[in-house]
Chains A and B, each alone.
Chain A
Amino acid sequence: ILNVEQSPQSLHVQEGDSTNFTCSFPSSNFYALHWYRWETAKSPEALFVMTLNGDEKKKGRISATLNTKEGYSYLYIKGSQPEDSATYLCAPNDYKLSFGAGTTVTVRA
């Protein structure tokens, strides 16, 4: 299992504001980086799978960037809405996923 760090552990955002948070992972032997969104009482939902250095992916108001050389990824939420409240997990994937502890986002109306 790879050592994965996500920061901050939690954050509170005012509705309409934008935010971002970080995932750090070992840069050696990189295959892919996954991002998941996990709402309470639901199963994790896949957001992005990123493989290329410099890759940027977007899904609605959520986007992510990837730097495989230095081993980090950012996830951005633009114009946060209450329904964005969830825990966001990143996981590098060699032959299995190694999940970080997640960043829990709470959007206040």
Chain B
Amino acid sequence: SAVISQKPSRDICQRGTSLTIQCQVDSQVTMMFWYRQQPGQSLTLIATANQGSEATYESGFVIDKFPISRPNLTFSTLTVSNMSPEDSSIYLCSAQHSVNQPQHFGDGTRLSIL
């Protein structure tokens, strides 16, 4: 099991600005992921955060818009850049030791862009 601390829990931002979300795990984990939940929809994977190398992005998501860092095995950040109202969502990070183990999720960041 892993405990995930994610912050901020919510924010209201102006159009065109950027916000960095932090995710801290209480133990070393192999894999970390970033998801988005848009209103009325399920979880969509943004990217896999790779320790020491560039993140692996899913179709429709690009590094310039969602830069991700993972400097070690317990911490990752997601930046939402040049925000627009369409970026208003809940963003969640998760951690997983292996595919046969469950993913553990942070409490999410509720982001609203005006």
- CB within 8 Å of B: which residues of A? 1, 31-32, 34, 36, 42-46, 49, 51, 89, 93-102
Residues in B with CB closer than 8 Å to A46 are 102-104
Residue B66 CB within 8 A of the other chain = no
Q: Compute how far the CA of A99 lies from the CA of B43 in the bound complex, rounded to whole angstroms.
A: 6
Task: List, sorted by A's number, 17 A–B pairs whose CB atoms are closer than 8 Å.
Answer: A43-B4, A43-B108, A44-B103, A45-B105, A46-B102, A46-B103, A49-B100, A89-B42, A93-B99, A96-B48, A97-B33, A97-B103, A98-B45, A99-B43, A99-B44, A99-B45, A101-B41
Q: Compute how far the CA of A66 lies from the CA of B65 in the bound complex, rounded to whole angstroms.
A: 38
Contacting A at CB under 8 A, from B59-100, are 59, 92, 99-100
- Bin chain B's interface residue count: 20 to 34
Residues in B with CB closer than 8 Å to A31 are 99-100
A43 touches B106 (CB 8 A): yes
**Number of residue pairs A-B, CB distance < 8 angstroms:** 49
- CB within 8 Å of A: which residues of B? 4, 33, 41-45, 48, 58-59, 92, 99-108
A101 touches B104 (CB 8 A): no
4 extra interface residue pairs, beta carbon distance < 8 Å, beyond A34-B102, A96-B45, A98-B45: A43-B105, A46-B102, A46-B104, A99-B44
